[in-house]
Structure 1
Amino acid sequence: MQKQKMMTKNYKMADTVIEVTSIYEKVHEYCKDYLTNEPADFSVCTTPEDIIKEKEKSDSEYAYEGKTLPNFSQGTLEETAVYRKIGEKMPNYDTVIFHGSIIAVDGHGFLFTAKSGTGKSTHTALWREYLGDKAVMVNDDKPMLKITDNGVIAYGTPYNGKHHLGCNMSVPLKAICIITRGEKNSIVRIDKSEAYAMLLQQVYRPQDPLQMAKTLKLVDKLAENVELYKLACNMDIEAAEVAYNGMKG
């Protein structure tokens, strides 16, 4: 790998300032909307070895699924390495990265999560169609959730999916909704025990045992501080109407 000059910049995500030192400019281009001059709360730094590990991990996952191996650039692989390093540290700040699509309506956040391919992004697109300018995309893939005794705040992040839907904003999280496919649209309130397995599956799970222990406590608190729902839906606009009316309160 050709030796390059390391680049360092600070980014503010979920009210936490992260100093990122990288080999490739792509990392900083990706995070540019979160740039800040504030002093860092913690720092992450990548190495050529991190990029090699990301390449091996990516190839292994694609091979396991029987897919053609991707040809990700070194910068893209490094960006993923930075994401993982940030995810490892965020529980220290009562924050987790969560896999889901979150939309804000009238000052409240609604987070949709599901197994891959179920239609999270499609469903939030229906909300934007149904509600128009009232609905604002916060993040379409990996928002951050700051979890406190007084509630949960959802934040946009650079990690906003292949369509880059989202923005640098925050909103109080009112509800998390687990999406399933169904012929008819219906929504029901569920309790922590029904939602917990999916919440744990969709949160970023640190490799460090101490950080994972913190994450488990945060997931417990998350489930206690927001409303939890299960939505059976099709891809008709009525799905958004049913979901919105069921959760808005």
Structure 2
Amino acid sequence: MIKNNYRIADRVVCIDSLYDEVHDYCKDYLTDEEAEYTVSTSMSDIDSERRRSADEDRFEGHPVQEYSDSYLEELAVYRRIAEKMPDFDTVLFHGSVVAVDGEGYLFTAKSGTGKSTHTRLWREYFGSRAVMVNDDKPLLRINRNGVTAFGTPYNGKHRLGANISVPLKAICILTRAAENSIVSISPGEAYPMLIQQIYRPSDMAKMQKTLALADMLAEQTALYRLGCNMDISAAVTAYEGMR
């Protein structure tokens, strides 16, 4: 087993893993601070992730992919972290967060809609003003003072993200459309997508805490729906609409 400590979303976790690759994946978050909790994985966790990945492939109508044990362990580690995070008023959210001038904008949608493509347009349009926080599964800390989006090592297949945190200004549900348009939506309109995209822990007490955090997220974050055509003008429409 290999152990190292990492600061992720302002919390220090000791990761105790079977494979070196897990630690290489997290190297930008390495710290010598004392751990607040420990995540350990075993072959049973890896086998569980393999079954889960195969089930997802079948559900989506894709051929079942073969993944290495080390890659599956990376998934298992982040799942363990996500299970713990509600204790710290923090949830894992499936989406792409880009920051402009130090403020974060989170784009979420069903898989394949184009979240990563849209945030790439933001980086093209805003240049150095735009920074990718996390392109896949950021952590969101939610409390009465607001919402903070954190970069994590688990930032998508293109590894787009940074070890930074930013205040979250808005959440935008992305849809495809021939013409670009953006509208403000109510918490009730956004809530089904928010619940779908938040990681839901297996522990009942943590699940109840996650639902309470989702309510708070919907109540105190500006919410939008964007219809976009994936032209760079979509970035302008989205930014101007949310600013």
Identify the TM-score tier after normalising by the shorter chain.
Answer: over 0.9
Q: Distance in 2 between matches of 1:32 and 1:196?
A: 35
Amino acid in the other structure paired with 2:117: T
Amino acid in the other structure paired with 2:237: V
Cα distance, 1:60 vs structure 2: 2.3
- Look up the match of 1:39: 34
- Look up the match of 2:165: 170
Give the TM-score taking structure 1 as reference length: 0.96
The alignment's C-alpha RMSD in Å is 0.9
Give the TM-score taking structure 2 as reference length: 0.98
- Look up the match of 1:236: 231
- Look up the match of 2:80: 85
3-state SS of paired residue (1:117): coil
- 1:200 has 2:211 as partner: no
Deviations 1:93-146 (CA, angstroms, capped at 9, x unpaired): 000010000011111100000011111001001111111111111110011100
- Look up the match of 2:147: 152
- 1:109 has 2:104 as partner: yes
Cα distance, 1:196 vs structure 2: 0.4
- 1:181 has 2:176 as partner: yes
- 1:20 has 2:12 as partner: no
Deviations 1:144-196 (CA, angstroms, capped at 9, x unpaired): 10001010110000111111111100000000000111111011111100000
- Look up the match of 1:73: 68
Which 5+ residue runs of structure 1 have no aligned equivalent? Answer: 1-5
- Look up the match of 1:138: 133
Which 5+ residue runs of structure 2 have no aligned equivalent? Answer: none
3-state SS of paired residue (1:240): helix
- Look up the match of 1:223: 218
Amino acid in the other structure paired with 1:228: L
3-state SS of paired residue (2:124): helix
Q: Distance in 2 between matches of 1:141 and 1:83?
A: 12
Overall identity of the aligned pairs, in %: 61
- Look up the match of 1:3: none
